[in-house]
């Protein structure tokens, strides 16, 4: 969640890091579908892992926010740090 003028923060890049590698998704990306609105929720599969080592959030203004040791099997709302 972003500022009141841009609550969906379209264009934010979110990278999930585990020992298996990195996976990056972009908020609002339409994945190439014609006339398709993108996603504001991002989903990552961790397989049998209980947590992600790190989640890196690169906000459109260039701010980098890092969350560490994030537990699996949950829905999170991340707010942009001021």
Strand partners, 24: 15
* Average pLDDT over the chain, rounded to an integer: 83
pTM of the predicted protein model: 0.81
78 φ, ψ to 5°? -110, 125
Residue 76 CB coordination number (10 Å): 10
Asked if the model's pLDDT at residue 2 lies above 70, the reply is: no
Question: Whole-angstrom Cα distance, residue 58 to residue 80?
Answer: 10
Asked if the model's pLDDT at residue 69 lies above 60, the reply is: yes
């Amino acid at each position: 969640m972003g500022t009141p003028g841009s609550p969906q923060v379209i264009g934010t890049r979110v990278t999930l890091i585990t020992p298996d590698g990195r996976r990056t998704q972009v908020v609002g990306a339409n994945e190439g579908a014609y006339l398709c609105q993108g996603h504001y929720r991002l989903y990552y599969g961790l397989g049998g892992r209980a947590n992600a080592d790190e989640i890196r959030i690169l906000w459109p203004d260039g701010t980098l926010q890092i969350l560490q040791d994030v537990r699996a099997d949950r829905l999170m709302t991340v707010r942009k740090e001021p």
